[in-house]
């Protein structure tokens, strides 16, 4: 915590100014996530994300801007529509909070000198790229939870965006040359999707049914395009472990039937693994390698 606070203080030497900047970054993330809430609802329904303006899904009353402020409006209205009193899901402010926290965390880790100095190839230029990646992961996660599929616009769009950004900001791949950034992005996209496809193939044979959607394979390709080959490998392993564990827990709790793995969306676990990589990936791999070496040492 003290280390976290020192990033802020180290930015300008004025903690009050740093705190203000951080509040703005959090609010920006919450506003983006507020728009993502709209996309999560409208994209799978084939509706335009810009028109009509925000309205209550129950009574269709338009929501004026002053009642559409992320997190705060929901709290002020105590989770009810101002026009009809219908319940507004707590998921809206929670997604907005998640957006604010992730945007601020990316900023805190990479935008401050103390943050990127820890990473030899770190650069504040990766922050907007991380914001875009996190936005796509939030969108994919909640569409997958609601509808059990991942839109191509998120997954294939993520592959294209990850590749373009890795060329423009090679630091995203811990590189300094544009072509090396693009090369590792492409290797990450291909190796991750092939690895997950292989995992899905094996499980499909064991369960004698489709164990995984092709959308999951495309999501790992997007994670690999943004974060590289090590990341896509990590996302496949950690995501499969977390998803498999959740499947076993739900099975034990009677919430899923045997062979009912298709009933559990896999995207959220892959997305969570990708976010974990963005913040703690390389240290996690180092810790694992040290652990493995300590086991093999005499």
Q: Select 42 or 147, whichever has its Cβ closest to Zn ion.
A: 42
Q: Select 58 or 205, whichever has its Cβ closest to Zn ion.
A: 58
Distance, CA of 159 to CA of 102 (rounded, Å): 20
Residue from the set 25, 39, 71, 81 that interacts with Zn ion by CB under 5 A: 81
Residue from the set 5, 84, 168, 202 that interacts with Zn ion by CB under 5 A: 84
Q: Which span sits near Zn ion by CB under 5 A: 7-15, 45-53, 56-64, 243-251?
A: 56-64
Q: Which span sits near Zn ion by CB under 5 A: 79-87, 115-123, 128-136, 262-270?
A: 79-87
Tokens coding 61: 């009353």
Tokens coding 172: 């995203």
CB 93 → Zn ion: shortest distance, Å?
17
Distance, CA of 220 to CA of 193 (rounded, Å): 6
Residue from the set 62, 79, 86, 282 that interacts with Zn ion by CB under 5 A: 86
Q: Select 61 or 72, whichever has its Cβ closest to Zn ion.
A: 61
Which residue in 197, 257, 206, 202 sits closest to 224, CA to CA? 197
Residue 80 near Zn ion by CB under 5 A:
no
CB 63 → Zn ion: shortest distance, Å?
9
Residue 88 near Zn ion by CB under 5 A:
no
CB 239 → Zn ion: shortest distance, Å?
38
List Cβ<8 Å contacts ≥24 apart for 22-27. Answer: 22/104, 22/107, 22/108, 25/103, 25/104, 25/107, 26/100, 26/101, 26/103, 26/104, 27/70, 27/100
How does DSSP classify residue 43? G
Residue from the set 9, 19, 38, 56 that interacts with Zn ion by CB under 5 A: 56
Q: With contact defined as beta carbons under 8 Å apart, do 266 and 238 qualify?
A: no
Q: Which span sits near Zn ion by CB under 5 A: 50-58, 121-129, 173-181, 223-231?
A: 50-58
Distance, CA of 115 to CA of 122 (rounded, Å): 8
CB 55 → Zn ion: shortest distance, Å?
8
CB 159 → Zn ion: shortest distance, Å?
38
Q: Which span sits near Zn ion by CB under 5 A: 78-86, 94-102, 182-190, 201-209?
A: 78-86
Residues 58-77 that bind Zn ion (CB under 5 A): 58-59, 61
62 - beta bridge partners? 55
CB 121 → Zn ion: shortest distance, Å?
50
Q: With contact defined as beta carbons under 8 Å apart, do 263 and 247 qualify?
A: no
Q: With contact defined as beta carbons under 8 Å apart, do 227 and 277 qualify?
A: yes
Residue 83 near Zn ion by CB under 5 A:
yes
Residues 157-176 that bind Zn ion (CB under 5 A): none
CB 82 → Zn ion: shortest distance, Å?
8
Peptide bond into 52 cis (omega under 30): yes
List Cβ<8 Å contacts ≥24 apart for 275-278. Answer: 275/102, 275/134, 275/137, 276/238, 277/223, 277/227, 277/231, 277/234, 277/235, 277/238, 278/106, 278/130, 278/133, 278/134, 278/227
Distance, CA of 251 to CA of 243 (rounded, Å): 12
Judged by the rule CB under 5 A, the positions of this chain that interact with Zn ion are: 56, 58-59, 61, 81, 83-84, 86
């Amino acid at each position: 915590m003290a280390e976290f606070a020192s990033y802020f203080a180290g930015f300008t030497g004025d903690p009050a100014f740093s705190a203000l900047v951080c509040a703005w970054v959090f609010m920006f993330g919450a506003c983006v996530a507020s728009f993502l809430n709209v996309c999560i609802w409208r994209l799978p329904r084939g509706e335009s994300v810009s028109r009509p303006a925000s309205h209550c899904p129950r009574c269709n009353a338009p929501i004026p801007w002053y009642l559409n402020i992320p997190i705060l409006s929901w709290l002020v209205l105590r989770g009810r529509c101002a026009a009809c009193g219908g319940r507004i899901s707590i998921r809206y402010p929670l997604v907005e909070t998640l957006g604010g926290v992730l945007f601020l965390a990316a900023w805190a880790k990479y935008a401050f000198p103390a943050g990127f100095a820890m990473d030899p190839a770190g650069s504040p230029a990766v922050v907007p790229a991380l914001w875009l990646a996190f936005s796509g992961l939030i969108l994919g996660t909640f569409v997958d939870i609601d509808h059990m599929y991942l839109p191509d616009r998120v997954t294939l769009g993520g592959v294209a965006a990850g590749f373009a950004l890795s060329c423009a900001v090679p630091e995203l791949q811990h590189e300094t040359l544009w072509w090396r950034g693009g090369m590792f992005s492409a290797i990450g996209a291909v190796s991750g999707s092939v690895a997950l496809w292989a995992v899905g193939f094996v499980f499909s044979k064991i369960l004698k049914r489709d164990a995984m959607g092709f959308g999951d394979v495309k999501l790992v390709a997007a994670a690999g395009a943004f974060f590289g080959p090590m990341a896509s490998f990590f996302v496949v392993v950690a995501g499969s472990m977390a998803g498999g564990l959740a499947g076993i827990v739900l099975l034990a709790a009677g919430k899923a039937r045997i062979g009912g793995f298709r009933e559990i969306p896999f995207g959220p676990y892959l997305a969570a693994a990708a976010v974990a990589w963005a913040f703690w990936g390389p240290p996690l791999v180092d810790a694992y390698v040290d652990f493995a070496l300590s086991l093999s040492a005499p």
